[in-house]
Amino acid sequence: MKFIKPLFVASAVLLVTPSCDVLTQLPNMTTNLPLSEAEVSAGLKEALTVGIRNAVTQTSATDGYYGNSLIKIPFPEEAQRVKTTLTNLGLNSLIDDFEESMNHAAEQASKKATDIFVDAITKMTINDAMGILNGADDAATQYLKRTTENQLISEFEPIINSALQQGNVTQYWTDITTKYNQIPFVEPVQTDLTGYVTERAIDGLFVMVAQEEKEIRENPQARINDILKRVFGSLDSPQI
C-alpha cells in the first residue's frame, strides 16, 4: 500500500484551505483533535534542531569533511593549474597534506554551528514555520542559510584561520605557491586561503543540513520523538 509523503499532503492542505481552516485539516493521531499552528511550529522547530545537531555531529567529527566526498574541500579551483603542475613534478605528498589540513580546519570550525542554528530556530515565527511546511523540499535549509550565513562566516573565519596556522596549512600553501611561482613563465598565484576554506566549510555544512531535512520529511524512521510523529506522521494517509 502506498502512502503520500507528509509534506506533500500538508502542502495540498495549505494551498486549498483558507488559513482559518488549516487547523482542522491536521489531525492529532493521539487525541483526534486538530493540531494548532503553534504545535506545527513546535514540531518543525524540533525537526530542525534534530537535523542540525545530526549535521554538525557529522561535519565536526574527525574526517567529517575530508572523508566525505560530498563536502570534501578540494584544492582551490582558481589554483588547479598549481596542483597539476606540482603533481607533474612529483610533489603529491605536499598537495595531499595541504588538502587534508584544510578539511580538518573546517571540521574544527563547524563545531560552532550548533548554537548559531539553534538561535535562528528559536527566533522562527509561526509564519516562518508554516512557510517551511508549505515550501520546497529544502525550505528549512534555505531559511537557515538566510538567517545564519553572515554569523557563520564571522564565527568560522577566526577558527579556520587559527586552525590553518596550527596545522601548518598556511605554511603548506606558502611552500606550494612559492615552488609554483618559481617555475619560469607561470602566472603567480595568490589566494585568500582562509576565505576559501570558510566558504567551502559553510557550503558543506548546508549540504549536510539539507540531507537531514530531506530525511525527516521523507523517512518515518527519522521522526524520533512524539512531536515529529504528530506533525509529519499524522499526515500520512492511504493513497486512494
Q: What is the pTM of this model?
A: 0.74
DSSP result, the chain: --B--HHHHHHHHHHHS-GGGGGGGSB-TTTSPBPPHHHHHHHHHHHHHHHHHHHHHHHHSTTTTTT-TTTPPPSPGGGHHHHHHHHHTT-HHHHHHHHHHHHHHHHHHHTTHHHHHHHHHHT--HHHHHHHHTS-TTHHHHHHHHHHHHHHHHHHHHHHHHHHHHTTHHHHHHHHHHHHHTSTTPPP----HHHHHHHHHHHHHHHHHHHHHHHHHH-GGG--SHHHHHHTGGG--B--
pLDDT digits (tens, 9 = 90+) for 135-169: 888 999 999 999 999 999 999 999 999 988 886 77
Mean pLDDT, residues 107-117 taken together: 95
pLDDT digits (tens, 9 = 90+) for 169-202: 777 787 777 877 888 887 777 678 898 999 999 9
Residue 112, pLDDT > 90, answer yes
The domains of the chain are located at 6-235
Give percent of the chain above pLDDT 70: 75
Residue 29, pLDDT > 90, answer no
Please give the pLDDT value at position 114: 95
Q: Output the average pLDDT for the chain.
A: 78
